Amino acid sequence: MPTDKTADTSIFERRESEARSYCRSFPTVFASASGSIMTARDGREYIDFLAGCSSLNYGHNDPDMKAALIDHISQDGIAHGLDMYTVQKAAFLDAFERRILKPRGMDYKVMMTGPTGTNAVEAAIKLARKVTGRRNIVAFTNAFHGMTMGSLALTGNSGKREGAGGGSLADVTHMPFENAMGDKDTLEYIEWVLENPSSGMDDPAAFIVEPVQGEGGLNAASKDWLQGIQRLARRHGALFIIDDIQAGIGRTGSYFSTEEFGLDPDMITQAKSFSGMGLPLAALLIKPEHDIWKPAEHNGTFRGNTHAFVTARVALDKFWADDAFQNDVQRKGEILRQRLAGIAALVPGAALKGRGMMRGIDVGSGELAGRICATCFENGLIIETSGAHDEVVKVLAALTIPDDIFTKGLDILEAAVRDATGSGRIAAE
């Protein structure tokens, strides 16, 4: 109706750049959100299985974070303080030390980079080059580390790389991720390249790896493979960097995605759910011996977002004071695995991907995956694809999602898969 403006998106079409993307998959205008439910301007509710691409691991607008933030703002708490010392940053660092580092026996310095994941990655590769005096960084096939020029050089996707318009994306070698070469042992290949002085590869400053490749199709590396990469890095004088931006902060069932793998990374990136509430915040964790930055050698106006420190502290105290949350995430991850296994069985050739609460189904084609997600949206579920060909339907629900909503969302997904593949609904009953 002409007088109903709820579906009006003309301002976006008129004024927002063509670079916009998620809005094309979810063509409605959202107004509010709470927990795992997003509500559009027209009042329609959607279950959120995207969770800000893993930026909302604790759900939308956690009441404790809200309360703390409103309190902070009401009292004229610092909103922007560059990288000055603030009581809010102190409280956050203290909580991070008590809740995360100490219980895990980890000793890292926290570098507040610009509040985006790509900035944390840029800081990591700059520092690795400074520390080692080498330039080459090893990244992996299907990797996604960001869209600024330094991070883009690490990113595998050719479409995204072409966005650089031909600007220089040098000093990176891409190596095959685990299982990238079918049944071939990629570690063995990488080792051969490193140890062959005529392989054409320059000595690496660092290896940077996502334990579960989020954008790359939910490829989950094994403990053995990651230990192998760390061992190769050590042996060849390179640093070992975990990019935990998407897989970390509880997503796989523990705070860091590789806690049970016995690794000892030189740096770890943090972003996305780091602030707890989806506010921009990123950091680079650095082993003290590598923290050789000179003051301001990497800086940025918004490094250290004080509002985000407030919510992040709440998140640390609320969810990481004991094992309860972590155990519940693991329980839900197992539910998810079982449900997806059942759904995958409906699609010939489909494969389960991922780990913990970061799982999906490779349905074999981007076209099919896209159709499934579109049907889900029509039925009230926000869900997206990933992978080199967008062939993986990816479930990134909030870790706090109530069981009933989780089940309801998975039911919508299953129905959409049945629709798309012609498996009858009756068969499901």
Site residues for a second copy, window 83-102 (CB under 8 A)? 83-87, 89-90, 93-94, 96-97
Between 41 and 337, name the residue whose CB sits nearer to a second copy.
41
Beta pairing class for 351-355 and 358-362: antiparallel
Q: Give the nearest distance from C-beta 356 to a second copy in angstroms.
A: 19
Q: Are strands 212-213 and 219-220 parallel, antiparallel or unpaired?
A: antiparallel
Count, residues near a second copy per rule CB under 8 A: 156
Residue pair 248/320 in contact by the 8 Å Cβ criterion: no
Cβ at position 27, least distance to a second copy in Å: 7
Other CB atoms within 10 Å distance of the CB of residue 395: 25
Closest contact distance (angstroms) between CB of 180 and a second copy is 7
Write out the binding residues for a second copy, residues 57-76 only, by CB under 8 A: 60-61, 66, 69-70, 73-76
Asked if residue 38 binds a second copy (CB under 8 A), the reply is yes
Question: Of 429, 356, 342, 340, which is closest to residue 392 (Cα–Cα)?
Answer: 340
**Is the CB of residue 366 less than 8 Å from the CB of residue 374?**
no
321 counts as binding a second copy under rule CB under 8 A: no
Cα 312–Cα 318–Cα 321 angle in degrees, nearest 5 = 105
Residues in region 146-165 near a second copy by CB under 8 A: 146-165
Short-list 240, 238, 233, 223, CA closest to 287 = 240
Contact 188, 153 (CB under 8 A): no
Region binding a second copy by CB under 8 A among candidate stretches 6-14, 221-229, 232-240, 342-350: 6-14
Q: Which of 106, 351, 388, 428 binds a second copy (CB under 8 A)?
A: 388
Nearest to 267 by CA among 110, 98, 417, 60: 110
Residue 17 binding a second copy, by CB under 8 A: yes
CB 362 within 8 A of CB 353: yes
Please report whether residue 341 would count as binding a second copy according to CB under 8 A.
no
3-class secondary-structure state, position 425: helix
Contact with a second copy (CB under 8 A): which of 49, 57, 99, 125?
A: 125
18 near a second copy, judged by CB under 8 A: yes
Under the binding rule (CB under 8 A), the answer on residue 374 touching a second copy is: no
Closer to a second copy by Cβ: residue 33 or 233: 33
* 4 lies in the binding site for a second copy (CB under 8 A): no
3-state secondary structure of 336: helix
- 358 sits near a second copy (criterion: CB under 8 A): no
User: By CB under 8 A, is residue 279 in contact with a second copy?
Assistant: yes
| 11 belongs to the binding site for a second copy (CB under 8 A) | yes
3-state secondary structure (DSSP) of residue 286: strand
The owner of tokens 């040098």 is 170
281 to 320, contacts with a second copy by CB under 8 A? 284, 286, 291-302, 305, 307
Stretch that binds a second copy, among 10-18, 229-237, 335-343, 400-408 (CB under 8 A): 10-18
Site membership for a second copy, residue 2 (CB under 8 A)? no
Residue 230: CB minimum distance to a second copy, A: 20
* φ, ψ dihedrals at 311, nearest 5°: -70, -35
Site for a second copy in 225-244 (CB under 8 A): none
Decide: is 119 part of the binding site for a second copy (CB under 8 A). Answer: yes
Which residue, 141 or 330, has its beta carbon nearer to a second copy?
Answer: 141
Q: Which strand (E) or helix (H) includes residue 22? A: helix 22-25
Least distance (Å) between residue 263 CB and a second copy: 21
Ordered strands of the 45-48 beta sheet:
37-40, 45-48, 381-382
Pick from 2, 3, 24, 429 the residue near a second copy by CB under 8 A: 24
Rounded CA-CA distance 188/388 in Å is 24
The total of other beta-carbon atoms located within 10 Å of residue 157's CB is: 16
- Dist. CA 219–CA 209, nearest whole Å: 11
Residues of this chain, 179-218, that bind a second copy according to CB under 8 A: 180-182, 184, 188-189, 192-193, 196-203, 205, 216
- Asked if 353 touches a second copy (CB under 8 A), the answer is no
Can you tell me whether residue 323 is helix, strand or coil? coil
